[in-house]
Structure 1
């Protein structure tokens, strides 16, 4: 089974016939390490399925510092749903943390699939719900957890982040300075030792 078909089936069963409507229109793209799939100010024209590689979603705050807010690796998808749905410029950027390959599902194709198939309409809704849950998870981490609890949560729920991204990127995601993250990690290692 095609990895993209398996991903969609994990959300909602998509028949071979419905998947066949999609596959000829999917656009494979290679993305070099450090390159942007989406830059702030651009309209997000597609939903992307990551076949290999790792991406970060970030924005530049008023102080000029980059703030990481989401990460996605192989067999995940990425988009800026606000920009994708409204076809207005994005405030976010998606950058490849390592060389990657993605499959692009263009906006017009997605809208066409929604109109032609109840299964695709259901998949779209479930993907939007998943994005909401991911965004809400980050908001709740920042609002209700201490910095140490945030680090422990990420370490338990997303251990791949500890090896895929830099300490500065992780600190930004956790809402702390890199020096604070170093102290948190040191304190936790002392407790275990």
Structure 2
């Protein structure tokens, strides 16, 4: 419960709305490799990651799986599928034991509609998801692979060891061999 209180304290909600938020959902623990959302299935929950790490992945028609995002804190869901009641376009999987505070669609909508502060908070969540997507698009269009790798290091910090070389390569849009070259170059540049 202390993880949830800490998470809620970072949301800058009034004491009243913080209390309501902490009452509506439930805390669940996902084991490593357990799915929070599965591609092609309904997305039933919005989750607040209290502890642990999640990997977002997409599997194409040829069965090729690509890591598209990584999350250690904040909210996690396939927002489009969640809000529109359609099958998820990607999966969200725990890459370590992960504690999530989850809310159903009805719980989220009721929370948003509780008062104007709830409405602003709902808009804030949607804006943050948009900002992350906008940053990702910008990075893939404007940054070099090395710059994308360095940005990833800043985001995942110590959790980088839980990602495979293939995950890292997929996240920054290069091959695993390119990631190895980038790492060697950064080590060499760091020793100079």
Q: Output the TM-score relative to the length of structure 2.
A: 0.90
Which residue of the partner structure matches residue 25 of structure 2?
26
Gaps of 5+ in 1: none
Does residue 1:44 correspond to 2:8, yes or no?
no
Tell me how far apart the structure 2 counterparts of residues 44 and 151 of structure 1 sit (CA, whole Å): 30
> Does the aligned pair in 2 maintain the 1:161–1:170 contact within 8 Å?
no
Which residue of the partner structure matches residue 58 of structure 2?
59
Which residue of the partner structure matches residue 92 of structure 2?
94
Question: Which SS does the other structure have where 1:70 is aligned?
Answer: strand
Which residue of the partner structure matches residue 8 of structure 2?
5
Does residue 1:186 correspond to 2:189, yes or no?
no
How far does the alpha carbon of each residue in 1:40-61 deviate from its partner, in whole angstroms, 9 at most, with x for none?
Answer: 0122222101111100111013
Tell me how far apart the structure 1 counterparts of residues 155 and 32 of structure 2 sit (CA, whole Å): 25
Q: How many residues were matched structurally?
A: 188
Alpha-carbon shift at residue 66 of structure 1 (Å): 1.6
Which residue of the partner structure matches residue 76 of structure 1?
74
> Does the aligned pair in 2 maintain the 1:66–1:172 contact within 8 Å?
no
How far does the alpha carbon of each residue in 1:165-185 deviate from its partner, in whole angstroms, 9 at most, with x for none?
Answer: 222111110101111110111
* Aligned CA distance change for structure 1 residues 7 and 184 (closer, same or farther; 3 Å): same
How far does the alpha carbon of each residue in 1:34-80 deviate from its partner, in whole angstroms, 9 at most, with x for none?
Answer: 1111100122222101111100111013442222122111x422111
* Aligned CA distance change for structure 1 residues 56 and 137 (closer, same or farther; 3 Å): same
Alpha-carbon shift at residue 108 of structure 1 (Å): 0.0
Tell me how far apart the structure 2 counterparts of residues 62 and 140 of structure 1 sit (CA, whole Å): 26
Alpha-carbon shift at residue 157 of structure 1 (Å): 4.7
RMSD, aligned CA: 1.7
Tell me how far apart the structure 2 counterparts of residues 159 and 46 of structure 1 sit (CA, whole Å): 27
Tell me how far apart the structure 2 counterparts of residues 43 and 58 of structure 1 sit (CA, whole Å): 16
Match of 2:135 among 134, 137, 142: 137
Match of 1:106 among 83, 88, 104: 104
Alpha-carbon shift at residue 158 of structure 1 (Å): 4.0
Alpha-carbon shift at residue 191 of structure 1 (Å): 2.4
Which residue of the partner structure matches residue 121 of structure 1?
119
Runs ≥4 residues deviating over 4 A: none
